[in-house]
Structure 1
């Protein structure tokens, strides 16, 4: 069963809200923007591509697993192409404990 709802973004648009049965459990989607290290207070820098912080991603993954969460790490080009990141995330994705998606930054993507 659906019912129309109104949503006011830039202009009012007609949407349909899906009503699920009351016994349906809620779904939580956790999306982690996994990106290169850079200084938000400075202009974008094509050379800012370090990923040393990925050495610590296991701390977050452990917390997610404690709560039964399978996170979706959306990665940009520096994360997707550097061994440190691939080695950090690959085992989680390979074991079905995480998903990998894309989140591209034009200033560091070829």
Structure 2
């Protein structure tokens, strides 16, 4: 059985619907980044560069319209980035909590 293809990131992004499936895809992206060890700074740089390219293409429309479009993109990108960071850091937090629990449960004996 062939896997169903997901819409590409930017097509879904510019569709402008941040529903549960959109959020789930962003969480899955963060999980993938964590699993493969992609540094967060690499993800940030890529997203920032793409936004820069997009903003450079905005020439039509009034100054106010262009400003609103850029502001909307920034808000959505910040939400996406927050989801990726939260998801990416979750395994690290769980390891820290596990280690802290192990240290607390280790009996201490006097010598």
TM-score (norm 1): 0.29
Structure with the larger strand share: 1
Structure index of larger Rg: 2
Q: Name which structure has the greater RCO, CA cutoff 8 Å, separation 6+.
A: 2
